[in-house]
Amino acid sequence: MDEQEKGWITPYLYLYQGFCVPKSGTTWLKALTFAIVHRQHFPSLENYPLLVFNPHERVPPFEFVIYDDINDQTHDLSKIPEPRIFGTHVPFTSLAKSIKESNCKIIYICRNLFDTFVSTWVFVNKIMPKDLDKPNKVMFLKYEDLKEDVNFNVKKIAEFLDCPFTKEEESSGVIENIIKLCSFEKMKELKVNKSRTMGKGTIVENKYFFWKAKIGDWVNYLSPSMVEKLS
């Protein structure tokens, strides 16, 4: 190991030749989803929530924000104004039955194995056959597809969430504004994502949610032997 630093989840974060494990596009997806669903509430980009709040604060994760304190059982999610959007790292197969059988929509995003450096594809291959037969319940989204055609997938997400863009919105550039607002480059440079933190028991610096957002960058960090082991 080249370097050992204080981690943001575990006591220590080990860096090997400057390499940090990247994510699967969760932060970007949360920003896009929030902007799509709330576009009627915030038609102007001035003073937009995502300019002063990290996407994980607007779309809070169950395990790291809402239920960060296991002793706190006071949360009443029904009191949160609709539409309610949440995130979770809990595998789909482990979600509560009440969630699976509810009318809520689920967007599942994954990324190439080598770019995420975690074995997600095993899980993906298990859930795809049965759950993609429920297109009105689960939307399966690949990070690479989202990067390749953001415009198409933003419209696809909006349709899945039952809030499709109108022709007037499309012609007036609403989709393009959302894409620009939620772009990696834009979010990474915001003050809120450079200096602030989030979480209660587990404190996370917002800057850790933004690294490179590149496809195929794994070739610069993984040796042939590492690739062989991951394969």
- In CATH, what number is assigned to the domain containing residue 152? 3.40.50.300
pLDDT in tens, 170-190: 999 999 999 988 887 887 777
Asked whether residue 230 carries a pLDDT value surpassing 60, the answer given is yes
Contacts of 193 (CB under 8 A, 6+ apart): 54, 187, 206, 207, 209, 210
pLDDT computed for residue 155 by the predictor: 96
Range of the domain at 115: 23-68+79-230
Asked whether residue 132 carries a pLDDT value surpassing 70, the answer given is no
Q: Number of structural domains, the chain?
A: 1
Asked whether residue 131 carries a pLDDT value surpassing 60, the answer given is no
Q: 208: closest CA among 191, 188, 182?
A: 188
Asked whether residue 214 carries a pLDDT value surpassing 70, the answer given is no
CA distance 51 to 10: 29
| 73 touches 205 (CB < 8 A) | no
13 within some domain: no
Mean pLDDT, the chain, whole residue set? 74
Q: What stretch of H or E contains 28?
A: helix 26-37
Q: Which are the catalytic amino acids?
A: 89
15 within some domain: no
- Name the pLDDT band for 153 (thresholds 50, 70, 90): very high
